[in-house]
Amino acid sequence: MQKQTNDQQDWVQMVDSIGNFLAPSMAKDHPNLPVKSAEGCYYYGVDGREYLDFTSGIAVENVGHRHPKVVQAIKDSADHLVHGPSGVIIYESILKLAAELQKVLPPNLDNFFFANSGTEAIEGALKLAKYVTKRPYLVSFTGCFHGRSIGALSVTTSKSKYRKHLQPSWLAYQLPYALPEYLPEGENPDVFYAEKLERDVKELFSHQVDPEEVACMIIEPILGEGGYIIPPASWLKKIREICDRHGILLIFDEVQTGFGRTGNWFAAQTFDVTPDIMAVAKGIGAGLPLSATIASKELMDQWPLGAHGTTFGGNPIACSAALASLEIIKEEKLLENAQEMGAYAMAKLLKMKEESPIVRDVRGVGLMIGIELGDPKTGEASGDVVMEVLDKCLADGVLFYLCGNSGEVIRMIPPLTITKDQIDKGIDVLKTAIQSVSN
pLDDT class of 5 with cuts at 50, 70, 90:
low
User: pLDDT (tens digit, 9 = 90+) per residue, 168-196?
Assistant: 877 999 999 999 999 999 999 999 999 99
Q: Show Cβ contacts of residue 136 under 8 Å, excluding neighbours closer than 6 positions.
A: 130, 171, 213, 215
Q: In what order do the strands lie in the sheet with 401-403?
A: 359-365, 368-373, 409-412, 401-403
Asked whether the beta carbons of 157 and 140 are under 8 A apart, the reply is: yes
For residue 297, count CB atoms less than 10 angstroms from its CB and return exposed for 0-12, middle for 13-18, buried for 19 or more.
exposed
Q: Which of 30-44, 141-155, 159-173, 181-195 has the lowest mean pLDDT?
A: 159-173
User: pLDDT (tens digit, 9 = 90+) per residue, 280-300?
Assistant: 999 999 999 999 999 999 999
pLDDT class of 1 with cuts at 50, 70, 90:
very low
In the predicted model, what is the mean pLDDT of residues 65-74?
98
Q: Is the peptide bond before 31 cis (omega within 30 degrees of 0)?
A: yes
- What average pLDDT does the chain have? 95
Q: Show Cβ contacts of residue 10 under 8 Å, excluding neighbours closer than 6 positions.
A: 46
pLDDT class of 166 with cuts at 50, 70, 90:
confident
What are the φ/ψ torsions at residue 217 (nearest 5 degrees)?
-110, 135
Asked whether the beta carbons of 172 and 139 are under 8 A apart, the reply is: yes
Radius of gyration of the chain (CA): 22
Give pLDDT, residue 25: 81
Q: List, in sequence order, every residue forming a beta bridge with 364; answer none if it has no partner.
A: 369
Give pLDDT, residue 26: 78
What does the alpha-carbon distance between residue 241 and residue 244 come to, in Å, rounded to a whole number?
A: 5
Asked whether the beta carbons of 126 and 218 are under 8 A apart, the reply is: yes
Give pLDDT, residue 4: 62
Quick one: what percent of the chain has pLDDT higher than 90? 89
